[in-house]
Structure 1
Amino acid sequence: MSHLRSRDYERMLDLAVAVLESHEPEALQHLVAAHLLETFGCGTVILAKFDVTSPVGRGSGADGWAPTSIGPAVDALVLRRARQRHPLVGYLAAGGRRPVTMDRICDGWRNTRCYSEARHDFGTTRQLGIPLPGDGTVMRAVSLGRKGRDFSARELAFAARIQPLLLGAENHIQELGRLRRAAAQGGGGGSGGVREAVVGGVGGLAPAAEHGLTPRERTVLGLVAQGLTAEVIGRRLTISPHTVNRHLEKIYRKLGTNNRVSTVVQARRVGLVP
Structure 2
Amino acid sequence: MDGADADPVALARLLELAVAALHETRPEQLWSLAFTELLDALDADLAVRKAEEWSPGEGTVRLWTPEGPAHHLLGPEQLDVIRTGYPFVDHYAAGHPLEPLTARATAGAHAWRHAAPAGRLRDALGSTDILGLPLPRPEKGAIHGCLLHRTGRRPFTPAHLAYARRAQPVIAAVEAHAAHLRAWRTTPGGPEAATVREERAAALGLTPREITVLALLAEARTASAIAQRLGISPRTVHRHLAHLYRKFGTRDRLATVLRARETGVL
What TM bracket, shorter-length normalisation?
Answer: 0.5 to 0.7
Instruction: Supply the distance in 1 between the matched residues of 2:134 and 2:127 (Cα, whole angstroms).
Output: 20
Aligned in 2, Cα 1:50/1:26: closer, same or farther, shift over 3 Å? closer
Give the aligned partner of residue 64 of structure 1. Answer: 61
Instruction: Supply the distance in 2 between the matched residues of 1:127 and 1:65 (Cα, whole angstroms).
Output: 16
Instruction: Supply the distance in 2 between the matched residues of 1:199 and 1:123 (Cα, whole angstroms).
Output: 50
Matched, 1:173 2:174: no
Matched, 1:20 2:25: no
Instruction: Supply the distance in 2 between the matched residues of 1:35 and 1:25 (Cα, whole angstroms).
Output: 16
**RMSD of the alignment, in Å?**
3.3
Give the aligned partner of residue 100 of structure 1. Answer: 101
Aligned in 2, Cα 1:199/1:90: closer, same or farther, shift over 3 Å? farther
Q: CA deviation at 1:128?
A: 0.3
Q: CA deviation at 1:64?
A: 3.2
Alignment deviations for residues 204-259 of structure 1 (CA, whole Å, 9 cap, x no partner): xxxxxxxxxxxxxxxxxxxxxxxxxxxxxxxxxxxxxxxxxxxxxxxxxxxxxxxx
Alignment deviations for residues 23-71 of structure 1 (CA, whole Å, 9 cap, x no partner): 112211111111111111111001134447x8x65x3xx3332233243
Tell me if structure 2 keeps the 8 A contact 1:63–1:76.
no
Q: CA deviation at 1:166?
A: 0.6
Aligned in 2, Cα 1:42/1:70: closer, same or farther, shift over 3 Å? farther
The counterpart of 1:38, out of the listed 37, 40, 48, is: 40
Q: CA deviation at 1:200?
A: 11
Aligned in 2, Cα 1:174/1:131: closer, same or farther, shift over 3 Å? same
Instruction: Supply the distance in 2 between the matched residues of 1:179 and 1:151 (Cα, whole angstroms).
Output: 38
Aligned in 2, Cα 1:82/1:45: closer, same or farther, shift over 3 Å? closer
Matched, 1:185 2:190: yes
The counterpart of 1:127, out of the listed 130, 134, 140, is: 130
Residue pairs, 1:1-274, within 5 angstroms:
2-51=4-53, 57=57, 59=58, 62-67=59-64, 68-71=69-72, 80-83=81-84, 86-96=86-96, 97-107=98-108, 108-136=111-139, 137-147=141-151, 148-182=153-187, 185=190, 192-197=196-201
Instruction: Supply the distance in 2 between the matched residues of 1:164 and 1:51 (Cα, whole angstroms).
Output: 19
Tell me if structure 1 keeps the 8 A contact 2:5–2:163.
no
TM-score by length of structure 1 reads 0.60
133-142 or 97-106: bigger deviation: 133-142
Q: Secondary structure at the match of 1:138?
A: coil
Tell me if structure 2 keeps the 8 A contact 1:102–1:128.
yes
Residue 5 of structure 2 aligns with an amino acid whose one-letter code is H
Q: CA deviation at 1:79?
A: 5.2
Alignment deviations for residues 170-192 of structure 1 (CA, whole Å, 9 cap, x no partner): 1111112212212762697x973
Residue 118 of structure 1 aligns with an amino acid whose one-letter code is L
Instruction: Supply the distance in 1 between the matched residues of 2:10 and 2:86 (Cα, whole angstroms).
Output: 29
Q: CA deviation at 1:12?
A: 1.3
Alignment deviations for residues 112-156 of structure 1 (CA, whole Å, 9 cap, x no partner): 344334333433311000110122143212100013121111110
Alignment deviations for residues 6-28 of structure 1 (CA, whole Å, 9 cap, x no partner): 21221211211221111112211
Instruction: Supply the distance in 2 between the matched residues of 1:112 and 1:198 (Cα, whole angstroms).
Output: 53
16-25 or 114-123: bigger deviation: 114-123
Instruction: Supply the distance in 2 between the matched residues of 1:135 and 1:103 (Cα, whole angstroms).
Output: 28
Q: How many pairs does the alignment contain?
A: 194
Aligned in 2, Cα 1:191/1:69: closer, same or farther, shift over 3 Å? closer
Residue 24 of structure 2 aligns with an amino acid whose one-letter code is S
157-166 or 87-96: bigger deviation: 87-96
Tell me if structure 2 keeps the 8 A contact 1:43–1:122.
no
Runs (5+) with no aligned partner, structure 2: 206-266
Instruction: Supply the distance in 1 between the matched residues of 2:76 and 2:180 (Cα, whole angstroms).
Output: 20
Aligned in 2, Cα 1:71/1:122: closer, same or farther, shift over 3 Å? farther
Runs (5+) with no aligned partner, structure 1: 202-274
Q: Secondary structure at the match of 1:9?
A: helix
Tell me if structure 1 keeps the 8 A contact 2:81–2:124.
no
